[in-house]
């Protein structure tokens, strides 16, 4: 047992006059209750810092200015703590009752015992106080363990995302090069492309759940037109709908439905809902995305005529890892995370999302309602193009496959490309060879990508465009990258068109 744990099982006793403290301590010790006598309030407060099960005070402690020190300590208690305080009073006390009560109020969890005090009463109240305090410490330990578990989970998911994004980045980039060069069988390319995108979405969902539950998702709201965002999603999902033999359509109103929202996150919600509808609708079925407004709200509906949702599962479809009818075969795939993330994103926008179904085999409908807000939000940042001229690019990445895939992709775009397999080598080449663009992985051996960026920036100033291309995609990772001197932070896997636009940008 730790020293703090032992201290949490004892009472601190302060009775500054007479023999009250010694008599009370004797009674408590005879009842096998640990206690410690403190001579004054300052030393009582000092003892509290090491932990205590409760306090036993004579009312004389309330006289003078020193009780304020104790009240200050009580006010600083953590959320789990409610220190039990037993105050022994006397009907014949010269202290005015109102004065005593006023002094007791800031101390919170106080029990009054009046003299003459029975031994059994003191022991009983002391035991109750210590038992309650023990439960408080147990709750503290549970909360601490839970917080540690959450931190460990988030760190694991961040590392998992990094480890998965690295091979995904190589696969996606190599696939795009093969696709653009031609000659490969389209059917096989489509399979690889589809499965790579599916794996990327699963990684994104895993990391988004971690960010949502820890409150780390930040919205970047701009004025948008809901129909435009929905149209992009529907267009992107058409190949998937065609493959499944499902008709996917967008039904827009005559007028625009404008609101202030994060277009990337809202597109994620629509893609999750429509993608789920496609997943659970058999061939020959229909999925319809409808945009409208109702009073002061923008309304998005995703309706399908697929397998439906049992009524007893409607209330849990948004729970983490929940899936409709888990007895179904795993051909539909997924982790059951998309609806959890979608609900949280909608809630962060001040909206609601609901599921409805008339039962198995009768389809389902998801309805998102978002408040319509007026305002001139900042426009989405655009990259400043520098034309399509050939540029000298240095790729620093410790993965042979990622370097090779990037080199092939960038050479296909017409750029001159050099490579470095670690931070030290990359730093030397970036400074000596004068690359115009340096694409850097963050998780490098020896000198990490952040330090590489800082040193390149110190040596070459703003004459070089620094691009972080990494599997670390948390908001803090982007912030740290920009603080280290990177111009752009990209998360693997990245589309070749996106990388091409970034590399055309002039350093600022």
State the DSSP string of 323-349: -S-TTS-GGG---S-HHHHHHHHHHHT
Q: How far is CA 114 from CA 64, 66, 93, 233, 271, in A?
A: 21, 22, 10, 73, 68
Residue 33 lies in a domain: yes
Q: Would you state the pLDDT for residue 379?
A: 34
Residue 378 in domain:
no
Mean of the pLDDT values across residues 63-79?
77
**Same domain flag for 421 and 354:** no
Q: Are 249 and 274 in a shared domain?
A: yes
Single out the residue in 331, 346, 371 at which a domain terminates: 371
Angle at 236 between CA 384 and CA 341, to 5 degrees: 90
pLDDT at 184 over 80: no
End-to-end alpha carbon distance in the chain: 59
Residues 16 and 111 both lie in one domain: yes
Q: Are 398 and 421 contacting, i.e. CB atoms less than 8 angstroms apart?
A: yes
103 in a structural domain: yes
Of 315, 349, 371, the residue at which a domain comes to its end is: 371
* Cα–Cα distance, 48 to 13 (Å, whole number): 11
- The structure tokens 């030393």 sit at 43
24 and 88 inside one domain: yes
Q: How many CA atoms lie within 13 A of 180 on its CB side?
A: 15
The DSSP call for residue 81 is -
CA atoms within 13 A on the CB side of 363: 10
User: What span, in angstroms and rounded, lies between the C-alpha atoms of 68 and 57?
Assistant: 14
Burial classification of residue 116, based on how many CB atoms lie within 10 Å of its CB (0-12 exposed, 13-18 middle, 19 or more buried): exposed
Q: For the whole prediction, is pTM greater than 0.85?
A: no
**3-state DSSP of 168-224:** HHHHHHHHHHHHHHCCCCHHHHHHHHHHHHHHHHHHHHHHHHHHHHCCCCCCCCEEE
Structural domain includes residue 412 = yes
131 falls within a domain: no
The CATH number of residue 230's host domain is 3.30.565.10
Q: Is residue 349 part of a domain?
A: yes
Domain boundary among 308, 339, 371: 371
pLDDT attached to residue 94: 54
What is the percent of the chain with per-residue pLDDT over 70, rounded to a whole number?
A: 80
Residues 354, 232 within the same domain = yes
Q: Which domain holds residue 100?
A: 3-117
Pair (362, 393) in one structural domain: no
Contact between 492 and 395 under an 8 Å Cβ cutoff? The reply is: no
pLDDT tens by residue, 14-67: 988 778 899 999 999 999 999 999 998 888 989 998 889 999 998 877 765 455
Is there a contact between 211 and 475 (Cβ–Cβ < 8 Å)?
A: yes
Least confident of 96-110, 118-132, 297-311, 425-439: 96-110
228 and 189 share one domain: no
Looking at residue 345, what is its pLDDT? 87
Regarding whether 315 and 215 lie in a shared domain, the answer is no
Is 133 domain-assigned? no
Domain of residue 13, CATH code? 3.40.50.2300
Give the per-residue pLDDT at 327.
42
Check if the beta carbon of residue 470 is closer than 8 Å to that of residue 494: no
Same domain, 365 and 290: yes
Residues 434, 397, single domain; the answer is yes
Where do the DSSP E strands lie in 295-431?
A: 297-304, 352-356, 364-371, 392-396, 416-420
Residue 360 per-residue DSSP state: T
| Residue 500 and residue 480 in contact, taking contact as beta carbons nearer than 8 Å | no
pLDDT-derived band at 98, boundaries 50, 70, 90? low
Asked if 287 and 395 sit in the same domain, the reply is: no
Across the chain, mean pLDDT equals 82
Residue 13 belongs to some domain of the structure: yes
Do 232 and 216 share a structural domain?
Answer: no
DSSP structural state of residue 8: T
Instruction: Point out which residues pair with 294 in neighbouring strands.
Output: 297
Domain count, the chain: 3
What does the alpha-carbon distance between residue 55 and residue 81 come to, in Å, rounded to a whole number? 14
Angstrom CA distances, 58 to 16, 86, 116, stand at 8, 8, 12
């Amino acid at each position: 047992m730790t020293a703090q744990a032992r201290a949490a099982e004892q009472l601190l006793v302060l009775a500054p006059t007479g023999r009250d403290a010694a008599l009370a301590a004797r009674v408590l010790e005879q009842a096998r209750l640990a206690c410690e006598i403190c001579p004054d309030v300052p030393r009582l407060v000092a003892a509290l810092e090491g932990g205590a099960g409760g306090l036993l005070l004579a009312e004389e402690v309330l006289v003078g200015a020193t009780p304020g020190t104790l009240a200050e300590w009580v006010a600083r208690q953590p959320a789990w703590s409610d220190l039990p305080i037993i105050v022994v009073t006397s009907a014949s006390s010269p202290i005015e009752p109102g004065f005593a009560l006023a002094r007791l109020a800031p101390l919170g969890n106080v029990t009054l015992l009046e003299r003459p005090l029975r031994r059994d009463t003191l022991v009983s109240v002391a035991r109750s106080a210590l038992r309650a305090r023990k439960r408080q410490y147990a709750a503290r330990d549970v909360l601490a363990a839970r917080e540690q578990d959450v931190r460990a989970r988030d760190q694991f998911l961040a590392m998992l995302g990094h480890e998965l994004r690295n091979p995904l980045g190589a696969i996606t980039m190599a696939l795009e090069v093969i696709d653009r060069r031609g000659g490969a069988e389209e059917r096989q390319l489509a399979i690889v492309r589809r499965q790579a995108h599916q794996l990327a979405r699963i990684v994104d969902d895993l990391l988004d759940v971690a960010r949502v539950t820890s409150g780390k998702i930040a919205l970047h709201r701009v004025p948008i037109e809901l129909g435009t965002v929905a149209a992009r999603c529907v267009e992107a999902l058409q190949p998937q709908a065609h493959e499944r033999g499902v008709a996917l359509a967008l039904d827009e109103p005559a007028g625009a439905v404008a609101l202030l929202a994060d277009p990337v996150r809202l597109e994620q919600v629509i893609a999750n809902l429509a993608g789920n509808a496609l997943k659970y609708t058999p061939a020959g079925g229909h999925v319809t995305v409808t945009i409208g407004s109702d009073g002061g709200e923008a309304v998005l509906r995703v309706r399908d005529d697929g397998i439906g949702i049992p009524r007893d599962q409607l209330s849990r479809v948004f729970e983490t890892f929940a899936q409709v009818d888990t007895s179904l075969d795993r051909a539909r795939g997924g982790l059951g995370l998309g609806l959890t993330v979608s609900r949280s994103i909608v809630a962060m926008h001040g909206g609601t999302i609901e599921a409805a179904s008339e039962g198995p085999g009768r389809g389902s409908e998801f309805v998102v309602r978002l408040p319509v807000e007026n305002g001139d939000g900042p426009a989405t940042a655009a990259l400043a193009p520098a034309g399509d001229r050939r540029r000298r690019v240095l790729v620093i990445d410790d993965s042979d496959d990622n370097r090779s895939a990037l080199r092939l992709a960038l050479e296909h775009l017409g750029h001159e490309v050099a490579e470095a397999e670690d931070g030290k080598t990359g730093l030397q080449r970036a400074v000596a060879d004068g690359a115009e663009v340096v694409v850097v992985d963050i998780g490098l051996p020896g000198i990490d990508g952040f330090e590489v960026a800082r040193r390149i920036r110190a040596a070459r100033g703003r004459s070089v465009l620094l691009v972080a291309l990494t599997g670390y995609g948390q908001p803090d990772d982007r912030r740290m990258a920009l603080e280290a001197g990177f111009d752009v932070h990209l998360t693997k896997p990245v589309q070749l068109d996106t990388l091409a636009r970034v590399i055309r940008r002039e350093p600022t």
